[in-house]
Amino acid sequence: MEGGPVSWFVAPNPGGLTLDGTRCYAVGRDRIALIDPGPCIDGQIARLEKLAAGRAVEAVCLTHAHLDHAGIASLAAERFDAPLAASAGTLERLGVHGRELHDGDPLPVDLGKSRLTVVETPGHSSDHVSFLLEPGRAVFTGDLVLGVGSSAVLHPDGDVGSCLESFRRILSLHPGRLYPGHGPPVEDGEGRLRQYRDHRLERHQQVREAVRAGARSIEELRRKVYGDLEPELRSAADASIRAHVVHMRTQGEEVPEIGGLDDLNPTPEEA
């Protein structure tokens, strides 16, 4: 946990998709916003109480609806008597009421001494937003950008074109530090975003080449592109493969029939 205007803890929900666990953030010194309060697991409210340290909570903010980030959101909002703040898509998916966030909306922190600005960043999921903190230009990236490794584009909800555009949007803000939903903070925000953009473009080319080489099922494409993955990672990899094949078609490429492309398996929630 870091002192100053940003502090956090890591929820004890480690895994192949969550890395060491979900990072739950408090932003502010005297009156705070909570960002991604985390999963609904034993002891999570007590951890949030310790993070808040008696300070008033102005809002419980969500980057997206996946339950490793938002599972305890309603209970947290009730405990701290604070409104939920999230995109309309996130609120709808969770089946809760709250403040609908739109691109450019400000969220004052510490009675206006600091400000979180909403940045719509679909790609990992269609309901995803990030938060720009000023002063300082730090960005809370949720699952758009992680502290280590790469993030999945979760078809049918995620979209490769939207993901690339979201990278471009955050890069245009000239961000400083990134605070991801999983993994440690990233000091060189612009550098990491370029890495993510380049990785996504490289992954797209790998999928394209595998299709051209004759792969005709999602499983075959996954094996060619990712190799032999652990079982818990295969669903997210398959979702990303589907997203890239769909993006090929969106870009006007002729794509042969791919077995399993239209299998709408449940989206991994902890990804």
Token pair recorded at residue 75: 């209970």
pLDDT score for 169? 97
pTM for the model stands at 0.94
- CB 53, CB 25: distance < 8 Å: no
pLDDT score for 262? 80
pLDDT score for 4? 62
CA 57/CA 83 separation, integer angstroms: 9
- CB 57, CB 73: distance < 8 Å: no
pLDDT score for 225? 95
Sheet strand arrangement including 138-142: 106-109, 114-120, 129-134, 138-142, 178-180
Mean pLDDT by 10 residues, the chain (271 residues): 81 95 97 97 98 97 98 98 98 97 96 94 98 96 96 94 98 97 97 97 96 94 94 92 96 91 59 39
CA 57/CA 26 separation, integer angstroms: 9
pLDDT score for 271? 39
Neighbours of 143 (CB within 10 A): 29
Burial 251-268 (b: 16+ CB within 10 A, else e): eeeeeeebebbeeeeebb
CATH, range 6-187: 3.60.15.10
CA 155/CA 73 separation, integer angstroms: 24
- Domain range list for the chain: 6-187
Neighbours of 154 (CB within 10 A): 25
Closest CA to 70 of 17, 11, 16, 147: 11
- The residue with tokens 């953009």 is 197
CA 255/CA 201 separation, integer angstroms: 18
pLDDT score for 270? 42
Neighbours of 79 (CB within 10 A): 17
